[in-house]
Amino acid sequence: MSKNIVIVESPAKSKTIEKFLGKDFQVLASYGHVRDLPSKTGSVDPENGFAMNYKVADGSEKNLKAIASAVGKAENVYLATDPDREGEAISWHVLEELKRRLKKKMDAVSVHRIVFTEITKSAVKHAVDNPRTLNDSLIDAQQARRALDYLVGFTLSPILWRKVRRGLSAGRVQSVALRLICERESEIEAFKPEEYWSIDGLFNTPTSEELVAKLHTYNGKKVEKFSFTNEADAKAVVETLEKETYSITDIEKKKARRNPSPPFITSTLQQEASRKLGFSARKTMTTAQRLYEAGHITYMRTDSVHLAQEAVQAMREEIGSRWGKQYVPEKPNFYKNKQQNAQEAHEAIRTTRFDARGEDLKLEADQTKLYNLIRNRAMACQMTPAEFDQTALTVEAASKQHSFRATGRILTFPGFLKVYQESGMEIDDSLLPSVEVNDAMSVKEIQPEQHFTEPPPRYSEASLVKALEEYGIGRPSTYAAIISTLLDRQYVRLDKRRFYPEDVGRIVTKFLTEHFEKYVDYNFTAHMEDDLDAISRGEKKWVPVLDEFWSPFKQLTEEKTESVKKSDITAEATGETCPACGKGEIMIRLGRYGRFKGCNNYPECKHTEPLEGDKPTEPKAPPEDTGVSCPQCKADGATIVKRTSRRGKIFFSCGTYPKCDYAVWDKPIVEPCPECSWPILTVKETKRFGTVKKCPQKECGWQDKETVKRKAPEDKAAPKKAATKKPAAKRAPRKKAS
């Protein structure tokens, strides 16, 4: 029984903080948000001042009960949720629930709001000593954000159900993510490779060393990427160049430095883990969560590059003792957040100690890899820059009309590179031969090379997260979920770790960008954030801000629901006449399995053909015959064959389909049912019972006796069978829409 209760969001945090504060304090976790808008219509009422109908989430009841019972016996409650918009709202929701549950008892409890951005004893104590009250403006801003997301999603999605296909979704975040992928695909399709030629000179120095240099000027003009665009031009240039004599005319030496990258935040961690370790965004986050819970790293959902003083000090000590003073900068390196709308509630992602490598901590293999990545990146950010000697040589023709250049780079001091190299920024030493000005260079060969420009690459998980972050769309806690949503809706697919839009995804994007451009604009979120900031600062009120958004949005959705026909979206005219009826026009339509061509005259004419450019439908192998006669139609020679459903599931059905529609899931055998005498049984291999025979007749339900026997004692031994069954039933309506 504690006099003082502290509420935080995460249970891992609560344990640490409890240690700092001692016996008089009990720390409880809210486990994130405790109330939310139910996923159904009417949770926000725009007609009634945007009234928000919050409900306690299923999983939160337990947590709220624990909090209420502790607070009921306490004198002080410290709301210590994260110091950002969402955190402020969580505190408010918790308080609202406390008031509702404890009623008058709450009068005896003093309520304080405290915040800290790092979990250290001093920071937490300082926070407790400097409480404030809840910030209503910040809470209002969060509510505006929540209502807007709900209204956009729950207004646009039903339009998609009616106009495109059931079960689809649209939202402020996911629709822009989808748009990025679709527009990239359009760019790739519209891309026309352009030819260009590069020309390298291969020279010999006076000491017979080789030098490769790029053509830098030609006929007195600087050579650019598209200076030579065909073979004839390139050949002519080569001929001219071959006739010249060359010498070194300039040697330029300078020192160059490169600074380390900032420590990880969620998005950069996901990107680097993807590139360096091949982890998906989801895998990175669950692995990081384990490390966080074990106390090995700081919080993994953050958009701040800030580092705690103590951590910086510990890094400097470790760097100094491990590699020497020359790797420790005079003053700690300081990093600033690039993003505009960063909430900066947490620290950057770093390890909690620096003297241990992942291998020393006896972690799982994946955890070790991620731990080391995080530790190295953090340490590197507090190390000295890498230093190079950079040399540029100019090889000029005697005519002074043409010149080549070569650059070389030698690492003279590794600095942070000793520990960490960001992928895509690798540095290789490139050595140049030792030459002096006026040295004659003999031409060994002038090499022309043909190139073509390449289309922009399709997004990977990493590059998509990066793009979203740059637009300020989505949050650290949602990047992985956004990707899952696009995949779940089958808007996109991943192939060799690259995103490809599916037909439905492209149709949805086309529809949304054509008719709801403003709401799927890349800057829509940024504009929203400006408004939310104004609300946070008390400069605007949340209801008028929502009104300003809602009135035109509502009007637009009503107009579009009326004016845009389903066929405008999902059908595309081709101008071809139907070869079957000779009257109808062939349209490209969206079917369950993608797009196809069909006659306009449907349903009178049912002519269809596959879309060109589609993968040719593989010639169907004749289905495997089981030799078992069909027990239903009993037609002569009607046997059961093995087939694959459209979803890839194997089933067995009568070979005379569609005449006879008899079908079973498991493999049939000729053996009459001992119970109902149905002529066949089915067999299935299971791990637990081996081969199980069953009667396919549902009303019979006979099963292999051995199975029943072996199963029986288990039922008795586990009287909680009913209890274990419940979640299974609960699980059924979840996702996995079949």
Partner DNA sequence: CAGTGAGCGAGCTTCCGCTTGACTT
**Site residues for DNA, window 145-174 (CB under 7 A)?**
145-146, 149-150, 152-154, 157-158, 161, 166-174
Phi, psi of 147 (to 5 degrees): -65, -40
Phi, psi of 388 (to 5 degrees): -130, 155
Q: Among residue numbers 81 through 140, which ones bind DNA (CB under 7 A)?
A: 82, 84-86, 90
Of the residues 204, 217, 240, 289, which one makes contact with DNA according to CB under 7 A = 289
CA pair distance 492, 483, nearest whole angstrom: 9
User: Is the C-alpha dihedral spanning 214, 220, 225, 229 positive or negative?
Assistant: negative
Beta carbon nearer to DNA, 596 or 702: 596
Q: Among residue numbers 183 through 212, which ones bind DNA (CB under 7 A)?
A: none
Beta carbon nearer to DNA, 416 or 662: 662
606 binds DNA (CB under 7 A): yes
Output the CA torsion 156→161→167→168 (10° steps): -50
Beta carbon nearer to DNA, 413 or 657: 657
Residue 3 has which token pair?
């006099």
The binding track of 32-71 with respect to DNA, each residue x by CB under 7 A or -, is xx--xx-xxx-----------------x------------
CA pair distance 451, 230, nearest whole angstrom: 10
Of the residues 107, 617, 621, 717, which one makes contact with DNA according to CB under 7 A = 617
Closest CA to 437 of 561, 609, 252: 252
Of the residues 274, 351, 391, 653, which one makes contact with DNA according to CB under 7 A = 653
Beta carbon nearer to DNA, 246 or 652: 652
Of the residues 4, 6, 13, 284, which one makes contact with DNA according to CB under 7 A = 13
Beta carbon nearer to DNA, 259 or 513: 513
The binding track of 521-550 with respect to DNA, each residue x by CB under 7 A or -, is ------------------------------
Stretch in the footprint of DNA (CB under 7 A) among 11-19, 95-103, 315-323, 398-406: 11-19
**Apex CA 56: angle with CA 53 and CA 61, to 5°?**
165
The binding track of 574-603 with respect to DNA, each residue x by CB under 7 A or -, is -------------x-xxxxxx-x-xxx-xx
Q: With contact defined as beta carbons under 8 Å apart, do 302 and 357 qualify?
A: no
Helix (H) or strand (E) holding 386: strand 386-397
481 binds DNA (CB under 7 A): yes
Beta carbon nearer to DNA, 46 or 153: 153
Instruction: For the CB of residue 446, give the shortest distance to DNA in the complex, in Å.
Output: 54
Residue 49 has which token pair?
């001042």
Instruction: For the CB of residue 277, give the shortest distance to DNA in the complex, in Å.
Output: 20
Number of residues engaging DNA in binding (CB under 7 A): 97
Residue 421 has which token pair?
């190299």
CA pair distance 207, 255, nearest whole angstrom: 26
Stretch in the footprint of DNA (CB under 7 A) among 316-324, 374-382, 639-647, 668-676: 639-647
Stretch in the footprint of DNA (CB under 7 A) among 354-362, 453-461, 474-482, 673-681: 474-482
Q: How far is CA 336 from the centre of its chain?
A: 24
Phi, psi of 53 (to 5 degrees): -100, 85
Of the residues 456, 619, 622, 658, which one makes contact with DNA according to CB under 7 A = 658
CA pair distance 294, 284, nearest whole angstrom: 16
CA pair distance 303, 475, nearest whole angstrom: 8
**DSSP tag of 430:** B
Beta carbon nearer to DNA, 537 or 566: 566
Stretch in the footprint of DNA (CB under 7 A) among 226-234, 353-361, 471-479, 552-560: 471-479
Q: Among residue numbers 674 through 733, which ones bind DNA (CB under 7 A)?
A: 724-725, 727-728, 731
Stretch in the footprint of DNA (CB under 7 A) among 104-112, 115-123, 455-463, 643-651: 643-651
How many other C-beta atoms can be found within 10 angstroms of the C-beta atom of residue 286?
Answer: 13
Query: What's the residue count for the chain?
Result: 738
CA pair distance 20, 499, nearest whole angstrom: 46
Active site residues: 299
Beta carbon nearer to DNA, 238 or 483: 483
**DSSP tag of 242:** H
CA pair distance 211, 433, nearest whole angstrom: 7
18 binds DNA (CB under 7 A): no
Q: With contact defined as beta carbons under 8 Å apart, do 41 and 12 qualify?
A: no
Of the residues 64, 234, 664, 692, which one makes contact with DNA according to CB under 7 A = 664
287 binds DNA (CB under 7 A): no
Output the CA torsion 593→598→601→607 (10° steps): -100
298 binds DNA (CB under 7 A): no
CA pair distance 171, 50, nearest whole angstrom: 19
Of the residues 117, 240, 485, 639, which one makes contact with DNA according to CB under 7 A = 485
Helix (H) or strand (E) holding 725: helix 721-731
Beta carbon nearer to DNA, 205 or 600: 600
Instruction: For the CB of residue 289, give the shortest distance to DNA in the complex, in Å.
Output: 6
CA pair distance 128, 3, nearest whole angstrom: 14
Q: Among residue numbers 400 through 459, which ones bind DNA (CB under 7 A)?
A: none
Beta carbon nearer to DNA, 367 or 384: 367
Residue 727 has which token pair?
């979640």
